[in-house]
Amino acid sequence: MKSFFKSAAWFLALFVIGILIFYSCGSSPQTLEEYQQECIQSMNKALQDPNNAIKQRIESAHKTVVVTSAHVTRCEATTIDGSNNAGVDGSNIASLKLNIMTRWDGMIHKNGYTVFSIEYDLSGGEYKVKNAGIIETNALVNTEDPEFWYAVGYAAGYLLF
């Protein structure tokens, strides 16, 4: 039961962050590049918070580590109509793929890193996590199963939309 409340609090925190980011976005049509840059900036800003839920989940997954930095290393969006027009607030975006690099220090392992990837399908007007998972890490401990990364991807979507 305690785990349920911890997970619920984590999703609520991400939801609030997502709403704040959503309302900070402009409402004029954007190019694909502008949309991608806005996604990177919004996510990177959210990742700077020392209490960011994604950073906390990385720490939880690797147990004795403290995340020292996190940032987007890749953002690739595709449009529904194949054009360079992302639309207003990403209304023409079909899919979005993000890679996020976290750096951390642990009790035993210093200067560690974890890169995870999140891919969304946005073509139906809502985002759906298509794929999520660790693509690279040098962590000695990773207690989370693959379903955890789908949850991270789902929650991180609230940061963007």
What was the pLDDT predicted at 161?
59
Residues 6 or more apart from 25 whose CB is under 8 A from it?
38, 42, 89
Instruction: Over range 34-59, report the average pLDDT.
Output: 88
Contact 101, 70 (CB under 8 A): yes
- Beta strands 93-106 and 112-121, pairing class: antiparallel
- Beta strands 128-137 and 112-121, pairing class: antiparallel
Q: What is the pTM of this model?
A: 0.69
User: What average pLDDT does the chain have?
Assistant: 80
Provide the 3-class DSSP secondary structure of residue 3. helix
Amino acid present at 100? I
pLDDT at residue 69 greater than cutoff 90: yes
